[in-house]
């Protein structure tokens, strides 16, 4: 009877099992709470880091923002110490990256004035020789120039210009309304390239092929003042960065190919030929095959377009420079000139005759004999022209 009563009483759980299970439950709960808390803290820290990263990448390039202290760009260089001038220089460059719409001058008038004044300060600072072009400042300089200079030209200008058949002489010159700021940016870029203490190994990483291509695209600008600045800057880049020379020659060849065989419209052919006029003078002898191909495939076909009058003087100079370097090229040039000889355009024919005069002055007898027969046949056709009296006067110069 006693045994039956005792068997119905609940059994006690061992103390060790209870404590173990409690510790296990509390441990799992604590672990879950710790993980949850760490997760929340990690998310918060990650969000803060991402926010800081977005701010720094908006001011400086991500790879170069480390170690650069942001300084108020509205402060003058005279009001900071020499140690802070470098950071202030970068801050002012980044401030000038903002581009405002010129169609609404009243909307951003104050910001535009601040930018203009800042650009003037940057030019004075660089010209004084106080600037130190480290990698962050070089990157900021190239970024500022790209933001202000690299742009797409309005298509209506090109459409109205091409409607005249490519005769650029009689076209009304177009001037960029934002030239006041563009001129300062070009001056700053030129001073940057000419800077004596500039590290070329670092600078060429930022003035790379993409930068040069965009710079060459600007030669199609309607504004002759801009093309003149570009001519000087590209010539300096060609002279200072030898690693970019083959690429520049290739890009210029592509521009001329497109002009001759596709569009027959480009505003900067004369300026590009002026650059190559001095480049050809520096070619070493004997001439490389690449340079001879440039003469045959680029310069000689430039006689074909109707707008040759806009760049004929520069073209003649380049061709004569090649013959002065290598007199054996004279027959090749004359043959090419006869190939593109105009038939119905008397003004263009007179230009060809004047160019032929300069070519013959530099031609040796052996080369002249190779083209003598076709040349005099062409001269005979000129003498039989209705413009005989005008053409014969030029032929007497032979």
Q: Which of 21-35, 122-136, 280-294, 316-330 has the lowest mean pLDDT?
A: 21-35
Q: Which of 128-137, 299-308, 312-321 has the lowest mean pLDDT?
A: 128-137
Which H or E run includes 287? none
Residue 312's nearest CA partner among 196, 164, 168, 131 is 168
Residue 202, pLDDT above cutoff 90: yes
Which phi-psi region, left, alpha or beta, contains residue 67 (left: φ > 0; alpha: ψ -120 to 50)?
left
73 CB-near residues (< 8 Å, 6+ apart): 88, 91, 92, 94, 95, 118
d(CA 86, CA 77) in angstroms, rounded, equals: 10
Q: Which of 4-13, 99-108, 304-313, 348-357 has the lowest mean pLDDT?
A: 4-13
Q: Is 131 exposed, middle or buried (0-12, 13-18, 19+ CB in 10 A)?
A: buried
CA angle centred on 260, ends 259 and 263, rounded to 5°: 45
**The tokens of 79 are what?**
């009001």
d(CA 26, CA 345) in angstroms, rounded, equals: 100
Residue 358, pLDDT above cutoff 90: yes
- Maximal C-alpha separation, the chain: 153
DSSP letters of 136-196?
Answer: HHHHHHHHHHHHHH--PPPHHHHHHHHTTTT--TTSPP---TTHHHHHHHHHHHHHHHH-T
d(CA 390, CA 382) in angstroms, rounded, equals: 10
Radius of gyration of the chain measured on its C-alpha atoms: 35
Q: pLDDT class for 248, splitting at 50, 70, 90?
A: very high
Across the range 282-289, mean pLDDT stands at 92
pLDDT on residue 117: 93
Q: pLDDT class for 68, splitting at 50, 70, 90?
A: low
DSSP letters of 255-280?
Answer: HHHHIIIII---S-HHHHHHHHHHHH
Q: Which of 26-35, 303-312, 366-375, 384-393 has the lowest mean pLDDT?
A: 26-35
Which H or E run includes 292? helix 289-294
Are 239 and 140 in contact by the 8 Å Cβ rule? The answer is no
What is the tally of helices (H) and strands (E) in the chain?
A: 18, 0
Mapped onto helix, strand or coil, the DSSP state of residue 239 is helix
**The tokens of 326 are what?**
């290598």
Q: pLDDT class for 130, splitting at 50, 70, 90?
A: confident
Q: To the nearest whole percent, how much of the chain has pLDDT over 70?
A: 72
Are 358 and 320 in contact by the 8 Å Cβ rule? The answer is yes
Residue ranges of alpha helices (H) inside 1-108 are 2-8, 15-59, 82-95
Q: How many CA atoms lie within 13 A of 337 on its CB side?
A: 29
Are 35 and 43 in contact by the 8 Å Cβ rule? The answer is no
d(CA 155, CA 169) in angstroms, rounded, equals: 20
pLDDT on residue 24: 45
d(CA 89, CA 70) in angstroms, rounded, equals: 10
Residue 168, pLDDT above cutoff 50: no
Q: What is the pLDDT of residues 81-123, one digit of tens each?
A: 888 889 999 999 999 998 876 665 566 678 888 999 999 999 9
pTM: 0.76
d(CA 213, CA 62) in angstroms, rounded, equals: 24
Q: How far is CA 134 from the centre of its chain?
A: 21
> Hey, how many other C-beta atoms are within 10 angstroms of the C-beta on 146?
16
């Amino acid at each position: 009877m006693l045994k039956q009563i005792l068997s119905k009483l609940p059994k006690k759980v061992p103390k060790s099992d209870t404590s173990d299970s409690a510790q296990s439950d509390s441990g799992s709960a604590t672990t879950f709470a710790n993980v949850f808390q760490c997760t929340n803290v990690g998310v918060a820290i990650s969000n803060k880091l991402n926010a800081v990263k977005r701010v720094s990448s908006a001011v400086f390039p991500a790879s170069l923002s480390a170690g650069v202290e942001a300084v108020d760009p509205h402060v003058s260089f005279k009001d900071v110490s020499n140690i802070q001038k470098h950071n202030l220089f970068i801050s002012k460059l980044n401030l000038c990256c903002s581009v405002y719409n010129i169609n609404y001058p009243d909307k951003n008038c104050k910001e535009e004035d601040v930018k203009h004044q800042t650009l003037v300060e940057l030019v004075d600072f660089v010209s004084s020789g106080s600037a130190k072009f480290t990698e962050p400042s070089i990157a900021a300089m190239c970024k500022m120039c790209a933001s202000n200079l690299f742009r797409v030209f309005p298509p209506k200008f090109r459409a109205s210009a091409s409607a005249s058949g490519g005769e650029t002489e009689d076209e009304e010159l177009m001037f960029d309304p934002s030239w006041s700021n563009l001129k300062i940016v070009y001056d700053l870029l030129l001073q940057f390239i000419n800077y004596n203490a500039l590290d070329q190994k670092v600078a060429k990483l930022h003035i790379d092929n993409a930068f040069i291509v965009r710079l060459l695209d600007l030669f199609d600008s309607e504004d002759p003042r801009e093309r003149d600045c570009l001519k000087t800057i590209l010539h300096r880049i060609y002279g200072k960065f030898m690693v970019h020379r083959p690429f520049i020659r290739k890009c210029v060849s592509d521009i001329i190919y497109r002009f001759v065989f596709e569009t027959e419209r480009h505003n900067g052919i004369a300026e590009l030929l002026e650059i190559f006029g001095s480049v050809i003078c520096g070619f070493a002898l004997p001439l490389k095959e690449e340079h001879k191909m440039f003469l045959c495939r680029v310069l000689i076909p430039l006689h074909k377009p109707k707008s040759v009058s806009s760049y004929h003087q520069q073209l003649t100079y380049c061709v004569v420079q090649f013959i002065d370097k290598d007199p054996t090229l004279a027959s090749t040039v004359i043959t090419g000139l006869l190939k593109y000889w105009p038939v119905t355009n008397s003004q263009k024919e007179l230009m060809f005759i004047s160019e032929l005069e300069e070519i013959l002055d530099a031609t040796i007898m052996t080369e002249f004999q190779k083209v003598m027969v076709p040349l005099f046949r062409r001269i005979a056709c000129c003498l039989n022209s209705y413009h005989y009296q005008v053409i014969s006067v030029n032929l007497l110069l032979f």
